[in-house]
Amino acid sequence: SNTRLSSSFVSFFPILSFVPYNYSAPLSSTILPSMLNRNASHPAPLLPTFRCAGVGPETVIFPNSCRGRGDELSSLCAREGSRHGVANKWHTYNIGPEACIGDTSCGEFDVRHVNIGHRACTGERACEGIAAAPPHKATTITIDNDACKGDYACHDVAMEANSDVTIGKRSCVGLEACYASDDLITVGDDSCSGIRACQSMQGQFALGKHSCKGDSSCSHL
C-alpha cells in the first residue's frame, strides 16, 4: 500500500510504493525498493539497480536493499557506469546494514556525508572513490564494521578533499584496500587488509590493531 507523503515530495515522484521499516536513520526523503525483506535472518530479494535510487537532501538506503545478480551487480548504489545508480548530487547518504551488495557498490559518492552500515557495500571496488573530489566542502565518511569488502575496497577514499574518515573493524578488506586514501583517517582493528593495502596513504591517520596487513602493505606511508 502507498503511504501519504508531503506534497513537495509527491511533486517529484507522484506514485511511490512505500514500505515502512524501523530504521534509526533520519528520513528526509527516500525511495525504497518495492520488495523488502524485513526479516533479517533471511536474505533479501535480489533487486535490479533502478530499485536502489534515492532522492533528497538526506537519502536512506534501507537495510538489505539494493542487491542484484549477474549484470545487475555492477554499479549498485554507484554513479560509475550506471544510469540507474544512486544520484550523488545531494548532501547525505545513510546506507543501511547489508545494503548495496555488488561490484563497484557505493563508489564515486561525491557528497558531503556518507554513513555506511555494517556488512554493507560489498563487492569488487566497493566504496572506491568516495568523496574523491567534492567541491571544496568538508566531508565525513563513516564506515561501520565488516563493510566495504572486496578488491580495491576503499581505494582513493577522500582524495583531494577536506575529509574525516572513520573505518570500523574488519572493514575495507581486499587487494589494495585503502590504497592512496587521503586526509584524516581512523582505521579500526583488522581493517584495510590485503596486498598493497594502505599504500601511499597521506595526511593524518591512526591505525588500529592488525590493520593494513598484507604483502607490501603500509609502504610509502
Quick one: pLDDT at residue 145? 92
Distance, in Å, from the CA atom of 6 to the CA atom of 14, rounded to the nearest integer, reads 10
Quick one: pLDDT at residue 89? 45
**Opening angle at CA 42, ends 39 and 45, nearest 5:** 90
Q: Kindly give the confidence (pLDDT) of every residue in the chain, 221 residues in length, as a single tens digit, with 9 standing for 90 and above.
A: 333 333 332 332 222 222 222 333 333 333 333 323 333 333 444 333 334 544 444 556 666 666 654 444 445 565 433 333 344 444 677 777 877 777 777 766 666 778 888 888 887 777 877 765 555 566 788 889 998 888 888 877 766 556 788 889 999 888 888 877 666 788 889 988 888 888 777 777 788 888 888 776 665 44
Task: With respect to residue 15, please indicate whether it lies within any of the assigned structural domains.
Answer: no
Instruction: List strand residue ranges (DSSP E) for 40-194, in order.
Output: 58-61, 92-95, 113-116, 138-143, 162-167, 184-187
Q: CA–CA distance from 198 to each of 37, 82, 100, 134, 203 (Å)? A: 36, 28, 24, 22, 12
Quick one: pLDDT at residue 120? 83
Distance, in Å, from the CA atom of 148 to the CA atom of 152, rounded to the nearest integer, reads 9
Quick one: pLDDT at residue 134? 54
Task: With respect to residue 56, please indicate whether it lies within any of the assigned structural domains.
Answer: yes
Quick one: pLDDT at residue 200? 73
The number of CA neighbours under 13 Å toward the Cβ of 217 is 21
Domain extent at residue 60: 26-31+43-221
Task: With respect to residue 147, please indicate whether it lies within any of the assigned structural domains.
Answer: yes
Quick one: pLDDT at residue 126? 78
Distance, in Å, from the CA atom of 96 to the CA atom of 118, rounded to the nearest integer, reads 8
Quick one: pLDDT at residue 153? 81
Task: With respect to residue 131, please indicate whether it lies within any of the assigned structural domains.
Answer: yes
Task: With respect to residue 217, please indicate whether it lies within any of the assigned structural domains.
Answer: yes
Structural domain total, the chain: 1
Quick one: pLDDT at residue 189? 92
Task: With respect to residue 10, please indicate whether it lies within any of the assigned structural domains.
Answer: no
Task: With respect to residue 38, please indicate whether it lies within any of the assigned structural domains.
Answer: no
Task: With respect to residue 74, please indicate whether it lies within any of the assigned structural domains.
Answer: yes
